[in-house]
Amino acid sequence: ETGVTQTPRHLVMGMTNKKSLKCEQHLGHNAMYWYKQSAKKPLELMFVYSLEERVENNSVPSRFSPECPNSSHLFLHLHTLQPEDSALYLCASSQADRAVKAFFGQGTRLTVV
């Protein structure tokens, strides 16, 4: 139990589907992150929310849409994805000025067919 919970753990979706990934943290942190991890590639930072405001958006395609309704919850809404979007999507949380002390969730393994 890491204190950061992601659901679902596994997701298979078609290119025309719409789905959402959910992340919840119970650590009292005020910053949350979405990362993408593809096979044999480094983790890529997608979005950062600090104090519920988005502070980083690393040129992520618009088919990925984040939502942070409060400091404990983070969503990643997915629509019209491509097969190359198949990856492990990791959520993390930290105090706003301590990204390195982030705790990661176990990830959602996404397969786009």
Partner 1 sequence: RKEVEQDPGPFNVPEGATVAFNCTYSNSASQSFFWYRQDCRKEPKLLMSVYSSGNEDGRFTAQLNRASQYISLLIRDSKLSDSATYLCVVSPNDYKLSFGAGTTVTVRA
Element (H, E) at 73: strand 73-79
Find the binding residues for partner 1 in span 27-46 (CB under 8 A): 31, 40-43, 45
Residue for token pair 């990925």: 64
Neighbouring C-beta atoms of residue 90, cutoff 10 Å: 22
Q: How far is the CB of 4 from partner 1 (least distance, A)?
A: 8
**Which span (16-24, 62-70, 75-83, 93-101) binds partner 1, by CB under 8 A?**
93-101
Nearest to 83 by CA among 13, 8, 34, 11: 13
90 binds partner 1 (CB under 8 A): yes
**Given 18, 51, 77, 97, the residue binding partner 1 (CB under 8 A):** 97
Strands 108-112 and 10-13, by their bridges, are parallel
Alpha helices by DSSP H, the chain: none
Residues in the interface with partner 1 (CB under 8 A) total: 23
Alpha carbons 82 and 20: distance in angstroms, whole number: 15
Q: How far is the CB of 110 from partner 1 (least distance, A)?
A: 14
102 binds partner 1 (CB under 8 A): yes
26 binds partner 1 (CB under 8 A): no
Give the interface with partner 1 as residue ranges (CB under 8 A): 2, 31, 40-43, 45, 48, 50, 55-56, 90, 96-102, 104-107
